[in-house]
Amino acid sequence: MTTNPHYFIAIPLPPEVKDHINDWKKKTMDKLSFKKWVHPQDFHITLFFLGASNNDELKKLSEKMKRISLSKQSFFMQLTQSGWFGKPAQPRIFWMGAEGSSALYHLQTSISNRCEEIGFSADKRPYKPHITVARKWVGKESFQKSIPLSPIDTVFWTVEKFVIYRTHLDREPKYETVETFPLKADK
């Protein structure tokens, strides 16, 4: 039995932002015991997780995403400090924060609404923009004893597009761009 590949919609990061996070990650890795560190080419900001999808769903999705991209302006984002999801002593996700203007939240809401129209299930938790850096704490001591970490310098960039990614669990980097949706240039 074959299963459909998994997909998600995300904001790709510019190379200089990926490099900035990766440099910080390299200085941090020896202080933190996570099972898996994210490949720098896989750094992104998820907007909507689709899960397993077939070609018909992807075709419908593509049409709706094209319409959204034609109606949304590019916008600025900035990198903020690190955080985690899960138990404070043993987090499952270690992330770098990302903040944007209200345009980020409007884009995410529009994408979420269109995805739900097709039949995809939205995450019920409030949207928290972030860049996953590592997964699954495996340290002998509590994660809380490993911090404070060195802060990362704030970086600003312009979000000019969003993409549909396909996940390949058997390789690194594991995310493949399937389709790109440019946003309107800021006037």
CATH code, domain with 130: 3.90.1140.10
Residue 145 lies in a domain: yes
Q: Which residue has the higher pLDDT, 10 or 28?
A: 10
Report yes or no on 154 lying in a domain. Answer: yes
Unique residue bearing structure tokens 């998600």: 8
Q: What is the mean pLDDT of residues 64-72?
A: 97
Query: pLDDT at residue 128 above 50?
Result: yes
**Cα 81 to Cα 109: distance, rounded to the nearest angstrom:** 24
Q: Above 90 in pLDDT, residue 64?
A: yes
Q: Is the pLDDT reported for residue 1 higher than 70? A: no
Examine the pLDDT at 117 and tell me if it is beyond 90. Answer: yes
Domains contained in the chain, number: 1
Q: 57 lies in a domain?
A: yes
Is pLDDT at 152 greater than 90 in this prediction?
Answer: no
Query: Given a cut of 60, is residue 40 above it in pLDDT?
Result: yes
Residue 1 lies in a domain: no
Decide if 117 is inside a domain: yes
What 3-state DSSP class applies to 52?
Answer: strand
Q: What is the pTM of this model?
A: 0.93
Residue 112 falls inside a structural domain: yes
Q: What is the pLDDT of residue 145?
A: 73
- Give the chain's mean pLDDT: 92
Mean pLDDT value across residues 43-60: 95
- Nearest Cα to Cα of residue 161 among 177, 184, 178: 184
- C-alpha closest to that of 6 among 57, 70, 44, 71: 57
- Which range of residues forms the domain containing residue 13? 6-182
Note the pLDDT of residue 147: 64
Given pLDDT bands bounded at 50, 70 and 90, which one contains residue 159? very high
* Residue 144 forms part of a structural domain: yes
The predicted model gives 29-55 an average pLDDT of 94
Q: Is residue 148 predicted with pLDDT exceeding 80?
A: no
- Given a contact cutoff of 8 angstroms between Cβ atoms, the answer to whether 183 and 174 are in contact is no
Q: Is the pLDDT of residue 2 over 60?
A: no
Active site (catalytic) residues: 44, 130
Structure confidence at residue 150 (pLDDT): 74
Cα torsion 151, 157, 159, 161: sign: negative
